[in-house]
Chains A and B, each alone.
Chain A
Amino acid sequence: MKKKALSLLLSMVVVASTVACGSSARTDSGSGDAAATESGDEGVKEFTAFFAVPGSEINDDNEVQELIAEKTGVKVKETWLTGQTAEEAVGTLIAGGEYPDFIDGGDGMMQLYEAGALVPLDDYIDSYPNIKAYYTEQEWDSLRQEDGHIYWMNQFQNIKGEDTTCTHNDEAFWIQTRVLEWAGYPEVKTMDQYFDLIESYNEANPTMEDGTENIPYTILCDDWRYFCLENAPEFLDGYPNDGSVIVDPEELKVIDYNTTDTAVAYFKKLNEEYQKGIVDPESFTQTYDEYIAKLSTGRVLGMIDQWWDFAYTAGDAIKSAGLDDQGCMYVPLPITISEDVHNQWHNSGGVLNVSSGLGITTSCEDVEGALQFIDDLLGQEIHNLRFWGVEGVDYEVDEDGVFYRTEEERTNAADTAYKASHICSYSYFPQWCGTSDDGINANMPSDQPQEYYDSLADSVKECLAAYGAQTYVDMLGTNEAPGPWYPMYSYSNNLTTSTDAGVAWNLMGEVKHEYLPKVVMADDFDAAWAEYMEAYNACNPQDFIDAMQTELERRVAEAAKFEE
């Protein structure tokens, strides 16, 4: 009896595994072809897309997605990066040789190009007016790869009409409004003034209202976020965020900001402040989560960071705890190394990061349809649907035609559940900033001045007013867009260790990660700095600088072709 039962069981296993292969083969072909085919009844084409960044998936029956599908006849199923790095995800896609129709491989874009996974777009562009208009001829040209073709278009920070940016989304020295208020809203322009202010405030008010001790200054150093410690010297010297190097716009020369006098002065200052107990001793060991938790309590008076890195987590926590009434919200300050240096923390104009973007893969069976969809998404009506939502539901229009949101709509727009079931911005497809075709409204709600101002806390409004500013951007002043080479990080991002420059770039990052905290914490700054420089020079930074110089010259030469 039992013997029979067992042999039955065992044969089941064998059968099961053979059936397994058979049936999986069937489902495989079934689901694989579902992409880019007409799904019959509604006549809506379905495409698939993968973006190698973490993102939020929306529900299958998302309302705005359905609306867009009605208007364009296309629906895109988006998937996002989970638990892998972009390169790993792209690597597995390449290994399998099967791709979604649309793809943004992030830092893995170059790999996709090298694997021959992308469709060249240049032959198609002319037939799609909205796509064609998305970039200037020169910008399109800068997207060409070595073989002369264009394979992807970057989706972001492209300005149409007038630049109405209100948020300073980028890096700055931030300070709580209570510190400025206490000091009577003084002009703070240099690093020394900044730290003096924080010191004297902390001496006068060592604790918050509830008795919690203040943390005068903290530095985030967690993994790639260590830019909060590392790249300030480029800004202090009055240069824009080229990311990995400074570019001297007059001489067109690449400068290494790690070894400048300003860099020494900056780290020496941090070292002094560390010895005085102004710099948070946990700076170099805190994780990102811990840093956000710290900021959320309102204890931290100031820090360097990028707005997006803390504002939507810590900033909102401060607001919902009512700490903004105590002046715990942050505003940016136009800090440089000395008063005669003009700051460039904020630049106007778009940024074209040529190192990545949205591409169409060789697995896509309907390239024209896919491009038509991108073209449709850039049309104003659908663009408004993507970013503002449905009129009367997500936003209102006043008699002058200006869009605004009610308090409830503002809350909805931030609600995760509401967003998943209702809003569909196709956020990794090309999009416009600046003003819309009607000439009145901004393409993005966050760029709509009144809408932006209404959402600010009173303490921040008061602070801005004291400096005669309306927005965060006014606090810093804005600058012309830098030269055609900008941003240089779009080149260093794509460096790999197959070149000497790439190896140097990697080693430099590692050395800085280890030694910069040591330098700040050292009892003997000069000795620690010397030790750091020795390790730094052992990485052959010149290899990297030379490669950047070559790229700079190449970009300038490319741009010159369009001058005439």
Chain B
Amino acid sequence: MDTANTKIYQSSPSMQKSKEDSYKAVAVTKKKKKASAGDMAFTICNTIFMILFVVITLYPVLNTLAISFNDGTDALRGGIYLIPRKFTLKNYATVMQKDNLVTGAYITVLRTVIGTFLSLITNAILAYIVSRKEFIFRRQLSLFWVITMYVNGGLIPTFLLYKNLHLTNSFWVYVVPGMISAFNMLVIRTYMNGISESLTEAAQLDGAGYTTIFTKVISPLCKPVYATIALFVAVYQWNSWFDAMLYNRMSDQYTTLQYELMKLLSSVTNQGTSAEAMKNAQGAVTPTSVRAAATILTMLPIICIYPFLQNYFVAGLTLGGVKE
């Protein structure tokens, strides 16, 4: 049994008695047979809340989708909600024309996979170390990492460091520098702290060392949190472009998808300032419409990948119980 959690629950009935008398009376009479009136009301309110939430969340995204399929100059006149008025694929064509898009996509996939993998392993190891209550430098190591969340040396010193480590103009600048992050480590650590100590103690009695406990006892239980962190890192890696611009500006072979899209956006936005270039332009695509298309394109892969990760969360649902 999970002693820590049980304790929390055990401490609560007294509170419940004193504060929720009326409510409890209802609950007792109806027992567990059917949902009580209160539960019904709860379900209805909750459903309304969820529907409202979905509408508010979804509308702007669908609006962006509609604009991405709409003629750019036509969209400038406004009044487009969920359905394109003047359908066109030109916005997407403009995005697709980009020269380095394939290289960018390849590098982005690579950095997402490698970066997520490296990050997850290193953060998990670190979290495991600082979650061992008996570890002698536990506090110091935690503090060492927590501080990194709030201080940084600024752009130029960081740049100089990467340059001296020969990380600039290379792929590794994407995955090595940000590999361990205190935030991710702390999330994993918190989860590990919640795992009953009886499990590790039992393993220790069987003669298991730290490595075995980490791989065989702790990690299988940590799947939900691992999946969460993997998602965090993957999204970060997928959406990054600033590092590509900063450190690999002159190395086209290491460009990323998002950086190429950024370049596209700023060149579209800027065409207005170069008189010669825009002479007699026929409109059709505008910064807004191309931006919409680029937004949809970048979201698409994440939306496709996510359901697979969500399966891990569902797996986590059954794992969370810690039945043994």
Q: Are A316 and B73 touching (Cβ within 8 A)? A: yes
Of the candidates A21, A292, A314, A321, the one whose C-beta lies within 8 Å of that of B166 is: A21
Of the candidates B156, B170, B172, B253, the one whose C-beta lies within 8 Å of that of A92 is: B156
Min CB–CB distance B252 → chain A (angstroms) = 8
Q: Bound complex: CA of A55 vs CA of B97, how far in Å?
A: 16
Over the window 257-288 of chain A, the binary record of Cβ atoms lying under 8 Å from chain B Cβ atoms (1 yes, 0 no) is: 00000000000000000000000000000000
Min CB–CB distance A11 → chain B (angstroms) = 11
A79 interface residue (CB < 8 Å to B): yes
**In the complex, what residues of B have CB within 8 A of residue A455's CB?**
279-280
Q: Are A414 and B263 touching (Cβ within 8 A)? A: no
| Chain B, 52-90, CB within 8 A of any chain A CB | 73-74, 76-78
Q: Bound complex: CA of A157 vs CA of B198, how far in Å?
A: 79
**In the complex, what residues of B have CB within 8 A of residue A96's CB?**
159-160, 163, 168
A15 interface residue (CB < 8 Å to B): no
Interface residue tally for chain B (C-beta within 8 Å) = 67
**In the complex, what residues of B have CB within 8 A of residue A84's CB?**
245
Q: Are B279 and A24 touching (Cβ within 8 A)? A: no
Q: Are A316 and B277 touching (Cβ within 8 A)? A: no
Of the candidates B159, B211, B259, B285, the one whose C-beta lies within 8 Å of that of A7 is: B211
Of the candidates A320, A411, A416, the one whose C-beta lies within 8 Å of that of B73 is: A320
Flag the segment in B16-24, B224-232, B264-272, B313-321 that touches A. B264-272
Q: A20-B170, A96-B160, A169-B275 are in contact. Are A59 and B165 (CB under 8 A)?
A: no
**In the complex, what residues of B have CB within 8 A of residue A320's CB?**
73, 282-284
Flag the segment in A26-34, A132-140, A196-204, A546-554 that touches B. A26-34
A296 interface residue (CB < 8 Å to B): yes
Does more than half of chain B's interface fall in helix, strand or loop, or is it mixed? helix
Of the candidates B78, B167, B173, B281, the one whose C-beta lies within 8 Å of that of A293 is: B78
B241 closest partner in A (C-beta): A83
Q: Are B76 and A292 touching (Cβ within 8 A)? A: yes
Q: Bound complex: CA of A90 vs CA of B172, how far in Å?
A: 23
Of the candidates A3, A83, A425, A446, the one whose C-beta lies within 8 Å of that of B211 is: A3
Instruction: Specify which of A13, A313, A411 lies most central, judged by the most chain B CB atoms within 10 Å of its CB.
Output: A313
**In the complex, what residues of A have CB within 8 A of residue B118's CB?**
13, 16
Instruction: Specify which of B74, B211, B280, B281 lies most central, judged by the most chain A CB atoms within 10 Å of its CB.
Output: B280
**In the complex, what residues of B have CB within 8 A of residue A419's CB?**
277
Q: Are B270 and A25 touching (Cβ within 8 A)? A: no
A387 interface residue (CB < 8 Å to B): yes
Q: Are B272 and A6 touching (Cβ within 8 A)? A: no
A420 closest partner in B (C-beta): B97
**In the complex, what residues of A have CB within 8 A of residue B273's CB?**
53, 308-309
A452 closest partner in B (C-beta): B279
Q: Are A297 and B242 touching (Cβ within 8 A)? A: no
Q: Are B97 and A321 touching (Cβ within 8 A)? A: no
Of the candidates A3, A293, A313, A414, the one whose C-beta lies within 8 Å of that of B282 is: A414
Q: Are B159 and A95 touching (Cβ within 8 A)? A: yes
Q: Bound complex: CA of A23 vs CA of B171, how far in Å?
A: 10
Over the window 340-372 of chain A, the binary record of Cβ atoms lying under 8 Å from chain B Cβ atoms (1 yes, 0 no) is: 000000000000000000000000000000000
B160 closest partner in A (C-beta): A95
Instruction: Specify which of A28, A96, A98 lies most central, judged by the most chain B CB atoms within 10 Å of its CB.
Output: A96
Does more than half of chain A's interface fall in helix, strand or loop, or is it mixed? helix
Q: Are A296 and B76 touching (Cβ within 8 A)? A: yes
Q: A28-B168, A31-B169 are in contact. Are A48 and B277 (CB under 8 A)?
A: no
Q: Bound complex: CA of A6 vs CA of B286, how far in Å?
A: 52
A195 interface residue (CB < 8 Å to B): no
Q: Bound complex: CA of A293 vs CA of B173, how far in Å?
A: 40
A526 interface residue (CB < 8 Å to B): no
Q: Are B287 and A289 touching (Cβ within 8 A)? A: yes
Q: Are B241 and A167 touching (Cβ within 8 A)? A: no
B125 closest partner in A (C-beta): A10
B76 closest partner in A (C-beta): A296
Q: A92-B155, A96-B168 are in contact. Are A17 and B176 (CB under 8 A)?
A: yes
**In the complex, what residues of A have CB within 8 A of residue B287's CB?**
289, 313
26 A-B interface contacts by CB (under 8 A) = A2-B216, A3-B211, A3-B215, A5-B215, A10-B125, A20-B170, A20-B172, A20-B176, A31-B250, A32-B250, A54-B270, A59-B99, A80-B266, A81-B266, A82-B263, A88-B155, A95-B160, A96-B159, A96-B168, A312-B279, A313-B286, A313-B287, A317-B286, A321-B73, A321-B74, A416-B94
- Which residues of A pack against B, CB within 8 Å? 2-3, 5-7, 9-10, 13, 16-17, 20-21, 23-25, 27-28, 31-32, 35, 48, 50, 53-57, 59-60, 79-84, 88, 91-92, 95-98, 100, 167, 169, 289, 292-293, 296-297, 308-314, 316-317, 319-321, 387, 410-411, 413-417, 419-420, 425, 427, 444-446, 455
Contacts A57-B267, A296-B77 known; list 4 others, CB within 8 Å.
Answer: A23-B172, A316-B278, A413-B279, A416-B271
- Which residues of B pack against A, CB within 8 Å? 73-74, 76-78, 93-94, 97, 99, 118, 121-122, 125, 155-156, 159-160, 163, 165-173, 176, 211-212, 214-216, 241-242, 245-246, 249-251, 253, 259, 262-263, 266-288
**Leading 6 A-B pairs by shortest Cβ distance:** A24-B170, A312-B278, A20-B172, A54-B270, A414-B281, A56-B267
